[in-house]
Structure 1
Amino acid sequence: MKLLRYGEAGAEKPGMLDAEGRLRDLSDHVGDISGAVLTPEGLSSLSAIDPASLPVVEGAPRIGACVGDIGKMVCVGLNYADHAAEAGMDIPPEPILFFKATSAICGPNDDIRIPRGSEKTDWEVELGIVIGKPASYVDEADAMDHVAGYCIVNDVSERAFQIERAGQWVKGKSADTFGPTGPWMVTADEVADPQALAMWLEVDGHRYQDGSTATMVYGVRHLVSYISQFMSLQPGDIISTGTPPGVGMGQKPPVYLREGQEIACGIEGLGTQRQRTIAWNA
Structure 2
Amino acid sequence: MSAQTTRRTARVAWGGAIHTAEPHPHGLRLLGGNGHGRVLAEDAVVWLPPFEVGTVIALGLNYADHVQELRKELTLNASGAKEEPLVFLKSASACIGHRGFTWRPDAVSFMHYECELAVVIGEPAHNVKAADALRHVAGYTVCNDYAVRDHLENWYRPNLRVKHRDGGTVLGPWFVPADEVPDPQALTLRTWVNGELKQQGNTAHMVNSVAKLIEYLSGFMTLQPGDVILTGTPEGVVNVRAGDEVITEIEGLGALKNTLFGDTP
TM-score (norm 1): 0.81
Q: In structure 2, what residue type is equivalent to 1:27?
A: G
Query: Which residue is 2:249 aligned to?
Result: 266
Higher strand share: 2
Pairing 1:160–2:111 present: no
Pairing 1:6–2:12 present: yes
Q: 1:1-282 maps to which residues of 2 (within 5 A)?
A: 1-7=7-13, 11-17=17-23, 23-28=28-33, 55-60=37-42, 61-68=45-52, 70-88=53-71, 90-115=80-105, 117-163=107-153, 167-248=157-238, 256-280=239-263, 282=265
Indicate how the Cα distance of structure 1 residues 138 and 267 shifts in structure 2: closer, same or farther if over 3 A, else same: same
| Residues 140-192 of structure 1 deviation map (CA, whole Å, 9 limit, x = unaligned) | 1211110001100111011112338x953332111111001010111010012
Query: Which residue is 1:49 aligned to?
Result: none
Of stretches 131-140 and 2-11 in structure 1, the one that deviates more from structure 2 is 2-11
Q: In structure 2, what residue type is equivalent to 1:73?
A: V
Q: In structure 2, what residue type is equivalent to 1:81?
A: A
Q: Identity rate of aligned residues, in percent? A: 38
TM-score (norm 2): 0.86
Indicate how the Cα distance of structure 1 residues 83 and 132 shifts in structure 2: closer, same or farther if over 3 A, else same: same
> Would the aligned equivalents of 1:130 and 1:239 in 2 still touch at CA under 8 Å?
yes
| Residues 101-125 of structure 1 deviation map (CA, whole Å, 9 limit, x = unaligned) | 3211001210111136322211100
Q: Which runs of 5+ in 1 are unaligned?
A: 30-53, 249-255
Q: Cα RMSD between the aligned structures?
A: 2.3
SS at structure 2 position matched to 1:134: coil
Q: Distance in 1 between matches of 2:64 and 2:253?
A: 23
Q: Distance in 1 between matches of 2:39 and 2:127?
A: 41
Q: Which 4+ stretches in 1 moved above 4 angstroms?
A: 8-11
Indicate how the Cα distance of structure 1 residues 72 and 84 shifts in structure 2: closer, same or farther if over 3 A, else same: same
> Would the aligned equivalents of 2:98 and 2:170 in 1 still touch at CA under 8 Å?
yes
> Would the aligned equivalents of 1:111 and 1:275 in 2 still touch at CA under 8 Å?
yes
